[in-house]
Structures are given as structure tokens and as C-alpha cells.
Amino acid sequence: MKVKKTTRSIIQWIFIILGAIVLAVSLRVFIFDTYTIPTPSMEPAIMSGDHVVVNKLVPGPRIIKNFFSLGKGVKPVFTRLTGWKVERNDVLIFNFPYSDRGRMDLDMNLFYAKRCVAVPGDTFYIENGFYKVKHVSDTLGYHENQRILSERPDHEFAPEIFHCFPYDSHHTWSIKNFGPVYIPERGSTMPIDTLNAIIYRDLITYETGKPVSVKNGTVVLGDSVISEYTFNRNYYFMAGDYVFDSQDSRYWGLLPEDHITGKVSFVWNTKDMRTGKIRWNRFLKKVK
């Protein structure tokens, strides 16, 4: 009798432990995850050494459709469950889209934290250092750093920091004056010409798998001449709050929605990277 009770008790505990593991994994996959911030590019909102909790319900949990094929040279293909929309000024964690320089890709091992300053359908621009969206009066990003940027003379910046995407003689954009650039929305159709093809070619190639080139004054997608294109993904403009030193959309372009992991909600733990001491004043601090 004792043996039977002991066996039943062991089985019950096995089910409890397995249930707890399934619950923990499910929460990490569908609801939240944690990340460590290694750089100061988002200061003062989040600091190097912060450990943050990320809400995956914004814009919705990603599910890898070809999970069992990964590790065989196959790139991940995601489907996204229904979630909440990304809003301007949300701080997001995302996979860096250009780990393979020269073309857009998705690196599952490289994550960035930046602030979304423009959402699909927006027309974004930087005017004398200040971030703006046409017909929107909201303050975007960390305004104080933008003010300091606007007051610094252009010659004080190194050329590789001052000059911006798309690095073209027709678009002499800088960190102080950038755009305007339309942020594509899923289903939106826009004219494509020899001037804007350089801005959107990586996005179009990412969606179609075909190269975009300019030949004899026309835009060619694969082997076909195009004059317009309908986007099948949403895109975002991402910016670091520390505007003087941040590898963000000013330098590499627009972020596809399938790269987004989630929205940074709060700091759950943090240590000063220099001293190793816990910064208690940031414990459970909400990120906004």
C-alpha cells in the first residue's frame, strides 16, 4: 500500500513539474521575455547594464513556422499571432536587419533596442536635429538630446556619423536633416522611380527575393521593369535616444515588422557596467 501511494505521489509531482515547465515556456514564447542592454544608445530611457522585461503582445507573439528546419541553413519563417499595435515612442527589441551587410536579413542571434519614432503610413523627417512626422504634433524620441544635436555645428561631427542612409548623391541626408521618407504600410502601393528606388530597394528585395536595379533610367525588379510597388509588410523607423551615438534607422534604413520581438515594459534588474553595483533606483522602473 505504501509503495502504491509513493508511486502515485511521484507521478503527481512529475506532472506538476512538467506542467510548470510547459507554463514557463509558454509564457516566454507568447507573453514576455527578458533581455540585457549592453550599450548606452538608448540612454536615459534604458541604460547599459539594464535587464528589461519585453511584452511580446506588442505587436503579437512570433511563431517560427519552420522551427525543426533551423540549423540546416534554413532561414526562420515567422507567423505572428494577433496582438496590440506598435505606437510611436514605444521602445522595442528587434532582430537587427542588416547583419549581412549589403542586403536585408534576419539574425536570430543579434538583438537591438531602439525607440519607434514612425509607424506604417507615416512620413518621417528630421529637421535641424528634431524628429518629426508630417501632420503629427507629438514629441518623438528624447527631445533634450535632439535639442543639443540641433545646436552643435555640423563640422564637429565625424563624416561617418554625420552622413546618413541612403548614402546617395541625390539624397544628401544627415543626422540633422533627413528625409522626408514614407514608411510603407502593408497593402500600400507607391510609385517607384530612379530616385526613391535606392531607399526602398532592400525592402522590395527582402519581400520578393529579387534584386532591384536601375537601368537606362528605369527601375528593374528581377527581369521586369516596374513603376510602382505594393508592399506586403509593415515597416518602422527606429531611433536611439542617445542621438549622437546610435546605430539606428538613420544609418541602415527601415525595420520590417517580422523582425520585432516586443515592447520593452520595465527594468527588472540593473547593474552599473563599470562598478558592478546594483542601481536600486532603477529597480522595476517603467520604460517610457
- My answer on whether 97 and 239 are in the same domain is yes
Where in the sequence is the domain holding 221, given as residue range(s)? 189-230
Taking the C-alpha atoms of residue 201 and residue 209, their distance in angstroms, rounded to an integer, is 11
User: According to the model, what pLDDT value does residue 40 have?
Assistant: 92
Q: Which residues contact 259 (CB under 8 A, 6 or more apart)?
A: 94, 95, 96, 97, 106
Looking at the 3D structure of the chain, how many domains does it have? 3
Please report the DSSP string for 234-283 in residue order: -EEEEE-SSTTS--SHHHH-PEEGGGEEEEEEEEEEEB-TTT--B-GGGT
Is 94 within a domain? yes
Q: Please list the residues that pair with 111 across neighbouring strands.
A: 95
User: According to the model, what pLDDT value does residue 1 have?
Assistant: 46
Is 47 within a domain? yes
Is 182 within a domain? no
Is 287 within a domain? no
> Is residue 136 over pLDDT 60?
yes
Continuous segment of H or E residues that includes residue 115: strand 111-118
User: According to the model, what pLDDT value does residue 9 have?
Assistant: 79
pTM: 0.90
- My answer on whether 246 and 136 are in the same domain is yes
Mean pLDDT of the chain: 91
